[in-house]
Amino acid sequence: MKPHNLFNSLQTFDAGAGRTGMFCSLPALEAAGVGPVSRLPVSIRIVLESVLRNCDGQKVTERDVRTLANWNARSPAPEEIPFVVARIILQDFTGVPLLVDLAAMRSAVARLGKNPKLIEPLVPVDLVVDHSNQTDFAGTPEAFGLNMELEFKRNRERYQFLKWGQQAFETFKVVPPGIGIIHQVNLEYLAKVVLCAPSTINHQPSTIYYPDTLVGTDSHTTMINGLGIVAWGVGGIEAEAGMLGQPVYFLTPEVVGVHMTGALREGVTATDAALHVTQMLRRAKVVGKFVEYYGPGAAGLPLADRATIANMAPEYGATMGFFPVDQETIAYMRATGRSEAQCAAIEHYYRAQQMFGIPRKGDVTYSVDLELNLADIQPSVAGPKRPQDRIELPKLKKEFVSAFSKPVSENGFGKKAEDFNAVQADLALPAGKTRIGHGSVLIASITSCTNTSNPSVMLAAGLLAKKAVERGLRVPAAVKTSLAPGSRVVSDYLAKTGLQPYLDQLGFHLVGYGCATCIGNSGPLAAPVEDAVVRHDLVCASVLSGNRNFEARVHPNIKANFLMSPPLVVAFALAGRMDIDMSTEPLGADRDGRPVFLRDLWPTLAEVSGVMQNALEPATFRKLYTDFAAQNPKWNEIPSSVGHVYEWDPKSTYIQEPPFFVGFSMQPGTIADIRGARALGIFGDSVTTDHISPAGSIKKTSPAGQFLIAHGVAPEDFNSYGSRRGNDRVMVRGTFANVRIKNLMVPGVEGGVTKYYGGASFQLANASGDATAGKLEACPTLPIYDAAMKYQQEGVPLVVIAGAEYGTGSSRDWAAKGTRLLGVRAVIATSFERIHRSNLVGMGVLPLQFKEGASAQTLKLNGTETFSVLGLSDAIKPRQDVTLEIMRATGATERVPVTLRIDTPIEVDYYRHGGILPFVLRQLVAKA
C-alpha cells in the first residue's frame, strides 16, 4: 500500500504490543487547517481517512479530501464521495455470479494473449456460503445431516466452481457451507476493526494502519457497524468494481445522531430494541442517510445488542446504523478470540485518531439529533407484513384480529371479520392430531444473523424452553420448528449450558448453519397442513427471529409473518396461534392442568447472565474458526479444477461463461442515439429488483424452466433463480419473469409477458397509418424473454418504461445484467432506486428520468409506439437533458425532454465503455 502524505498527515504512532506504525492522521489534517475534522460524526471521519489515504489525484483528489473534511451537517455537499474500501464480503447467491464475471474476465484476458493473473481482486474478498441451505427436514435429530446432504447434492457444481476460485485468486477466500451466516461470521471472525499492510515510506519498510471498512453484497452487511466498522450492502456490480480497485461512489450523506440514554428494562430484549429503532427511524425518514448512535445508552449497550440494532439498518432505510469503537468493542474482540496484539492495535489506532469512545452530547455535530431512552422500549413483535409495523405484545391479539378483516391496501388480509373462527381443519399428522384455522402458527424459526449472533437472546430462548419442558408443555404438531444459528459457536454454548436438549424436546433441533427461513428457505410444510391452508385459504402465521417479513418471503402460502426475539418464537410455537394476549392468556396447561403463562417461563436478566458466565470462551471461537475447511468433510470431498483460467463446461446448468466479454476489444465504442426502439414492458410504481430478477422458485412453464428441462434438469432439481445466478442463460430467461409483475402493455395479466409488435405481425415504425386496431390486436402476447429474442434477431433495440422507485428492494446485479442481455438499451422511469440506477449504468444500460409531472400515463403510452433517444454523443454530461421521441402507431410523433440519469463523470466513462467491467478490464490490460 502506498499512502500519500497529503497535508503532512502521514504520521508515526505506537500501535501497541511493542510495535510502531504509520497512519493517515485526521488530527494532523485538522491541525493543517483543512477542516473541523474533530466535530465530524465518527462514521464520516472514517470515510475521510479512506479518502485521504487513497488520494492519488485521479480517482480520489485533494478536492474530495477538502470537501469531506468540511462536511456540512445541515446541507451536505451534493457530491459523490469516492470511497476505497479495505475489503469485501460476499454471500454465495451474489458471490457466485461475481466470481463468474472474474473468471470471464480472465478468459477474455487470456484470449487477448495477456497474463490472466492481471485479473486479481486488489482487496481481500471473503465469500461465505450461507444462502443455500434449505429446511427440508426439521423437528428431528437427523435434520441437520439430512439438510446438509441435500444442500451438497443440489449445489455441487456451484461449490466445485467456488473451490476453483479459491485456488485461482490469491485474495479470494471461501468460508464453506455449514460454518455460519455471513454477517455473524464477519462479526465473530473476519472483522479486524483495524487493518495493517506493509508499505515503503521514505525508502524505509513500514507498516500502515487503517480502519477496517467494507462493502458486502448483502443488505445486512450493516450488522458490522455494531463493531465500529463503516460498511453497507451494495450490488454485485459495485462490489466487483470495488474488488478491481474502483472506489465505491456514494452521495455525501446526512448523518442522523441518535442520542441513547437509559438501559433496557427487565423482560425487554435486543430484538425489541431493534424493532423499536426500526419503527422510530422509519418515521424519521432516514432513507439514504447514515445513522450514528451515541450517548450513555449506546455506551452501555453490549456489543451483541449493538450488532442486532445495526443489522436492521436496511429495515429502517438507513445506509448504516453505526456505533463508534470503544472499550466494549475491544472487550468483544477479546471475548471472541482475537489476539491481544490486534486488540491493542485497535485501541491505540483509534486513540491516535482521537476517535476512541462513544461521543457524548455536544461532541459532534449531526444533521439531525434524535433522542431514545432505552428504558421506554417494550416487548414487541413486528408484522404481519412489514418490519416497521411494530406491535406491543399485549396489543397483538387485537391487532392481528383486526388485520384479518382490514383491506389489503391497509396491510390487512381482506377477509370477513365473522369468518375468523369459521374454519377449523382437523389433521392427523405423524406428530399427533391437531387442528388449525385462521391465526394458527405454522412455522416457528429461531433464525437469522440479526438474533442468532446475540447470545443473550439465544440463551433466553433456551431458558424459556427449559422451563416450558419442565412444566410439561408441548408444541402443537402443525408447527414446523427449526433452529438455524449463524455460527457453530451458538451450538457450542447451547450444549455447554445444557439448554439444547430442552430446545430439542420442543422440536427446535438444529437444521443448519445458514440463512434458512430468514431468506425464505423454510422448506415445505407437512402435506396435510399445506393442503388445508390452500383449500381453506387460511391466514396462518410464521414467527421468526429474522428481519424481513414481506409477503411470500418466508413461505409462499403463509400470509402473516411476525418478527420477534428467539424466546418469543419459542413462546408462540408453544401457543400455536397469533390471536393470543400473552399478558393475560396462558400459553398452555402443565401436566396437572394448571395454566402456564409467559411470565412463568420468561427468564430474568439475572438468569440469562448467570448462564452466559460460562457460555462463551475465546478458545471456542479460535477452535471453531481455525481451518474450518478441514472440519468439513463434505466440502473436502468436492473435487476442484485447478489453473488460473476456468475451464467452462458447456453442459453445466449452473456455471456458464457470460457473454459480456465475448468479442471484447481494447477500443470502446462511441455513444450514439438510440433509434426505433420498442417497449419491452411498461410498468407502474415500485417495481422491485425481485420483480425484475426473481430469486425464488423457477416455474416449469417459464422460459427458464423450459430451458432447464431441455437441458435434462428435472423440475424437482431446478433449485432457485438465486442459486442459478452463475448461468446467464437461465438468468436472462428469468428476467422480468416474476409471477407477480404487471406489464401494463398486457392489462389485467400478472406475470412476465408482453405484447410483441415486431416482425411480420406489425410493421415497425408504421408511418403510413396502416397500424389499424385489428392489426394491433392480432399481435401476439409472448413471454418477455421470447419477445426480446425476436426483437434481437430483427436488430430492434428495446426500452423499458416504468413509474416511481424503479428497482427498489434488495440490490441485485442480475436485475441490471438480465435487462442488458435482453437487449434493453434504456430504462425510462419516473424515478429510480439509487443502487439499481447505478447498476444499470454499470451494465451499459441508460437510465432516463421523466420530467416532473410526466409519466407513461400522462404521455398515454401503451407499447404500440416506437421510441428514439436523441442527443446522445461522447460529449454527454451527467444529468443533462436529452430528447425522447415517441412515434405513435398512427405515425404521429411527439418529443419530450428527459433527464439523463448518468450522475457522475466516471459514469459517463462506464457507459461509453459499455459498462463498468469492460471499463476496468481495458484499464488493467492497458497498464500491463
Residues that bind ligand SF4 (CB under 6 A): 130, 181-183, 218, 220, 448-449, 515, 518-519, 546-547
- Quote the CA–CA distance of 315 and 279 in Å, as a whole number: 9
| Distance of closest approach, residue 475 Cβ to ligand SF4, in angstroms | 23
Instruction: Produce one character per residue of 440-455: b if its CB has 16 or more CB atoms within 10 Å, e if not.
Output: bbbbbbbbbbbbbbbb
| Distance of closest approach, residue 520 Cβ to ligand SF4, in angstroms | 8
Strands (E), 697-829: 753-755, 781-783, 798-802, 824-829
Closer Cβ to ligand SF4, 181 or 541, answer by number: 181
Closer Cβ to ligand SF4, 92 or 885, answer by number: 92
Closer Cβ to ligand SF4, 43 or 547, answer by number: 547
| Distance of closest approach, residue 310 Cβ to ligand SF4, in angstroms | 12
**What values do phi and psi take at 432, rounded to 5?**
135, 175
| Distance of closest approach, residue 147 Cβ to ligand SF4, in angstroms | 15
**Amino acid at residue number 621:** F
Closer Cβ to ligand SF4, 184 or 246, answer by number: 184
Closer Cβ to ligand SF4, 452 or 702, answer by number: 452
Q: Render 568-591 in DSSP notation, one character per residue.
A: HHHHHHHH-BSS--TTTS-SEE-T
Q: Which residue has the cell 471456542?
A: 620
Q: Render 66-123 in DSSP notation, one character per residue.
A: HHHHT--SSS--S-EEEE--SEEEEEHHHHHHHHHHHHHHHHHHHHTTS-GGG---SS
Closer Cβ to ligand SF4, 41 or 696, answer by number: 696
| Distance of closest approach, residue 527 Cβ to ligand SF4, in angstroms | 26
Q: Which residue has the cell 445541515?
A: 74
| Distance of closest approach, residue 828 Cβ to ligand SF4, in angstroms | 32
| Distance of closest approach, residue 449 Cβ to ligand SF4, in angstroms | 4
Closer Cβ to ligand SF4, 187 or 917, answer by number: 187
- Quote the CA–CA distance of 49 and 873 in Å, as a whole number: 37
| Distance of closest approach, residue 483 Cβ to ligand SF4, in angstroms | 13
Name the 3-class secondary structure at 28: helix
CB atoms within 10 A of CB 663: 7
CB atoms within 10 A of CB 524: 14
Residues 6+ apart with CB under 8 A from 495: none
| Distance of closest approach, residue 518 Cβ to ligand SF4, in angstroms | 3
Closer Cβ to ligand SF4, 180 or 337, answer by number: 180
Sign of CA dihedral 394, 398, 399, 400: positive
Closer Cβ to ligand SF4, 148 or 782, answer by number: 148
| Distance of closest approach, residue 547 Cβ to ligand SF4, in angstroms | 5
| Distance of closest approach, residue 128 Cβ to ligand SF4, in angstroms | 9
Q: Render 518-554 in DSSP notation, one character per residue.
A: GGT---PPPHHHHHHHHHHT---EEEESSS---TTTS
Closer Cβ to ligand SF4, 720 or 743, answer by number: 720
Using the 8-state DSSP alphabet, how is residue 376 labeled?
G
Strand partners, 257: 292, 369
Using alpha carbons, list the distances in angstroms from residue 521 to 445, 468, 556, 635, 724.
11, 28, 11, 21, 15
Asked, as a colleague might, if the bond just before 567 is cis with ω within 30 of 0, I would say no
Using the 8-state DSSP alphabet, how is residue 180 labeled?
B
Using the 8-state DSSP alphabet, how is residue 22 labeled?
E
Closer Cβ to ligand SF4, 154 or 259, answer by number: 154
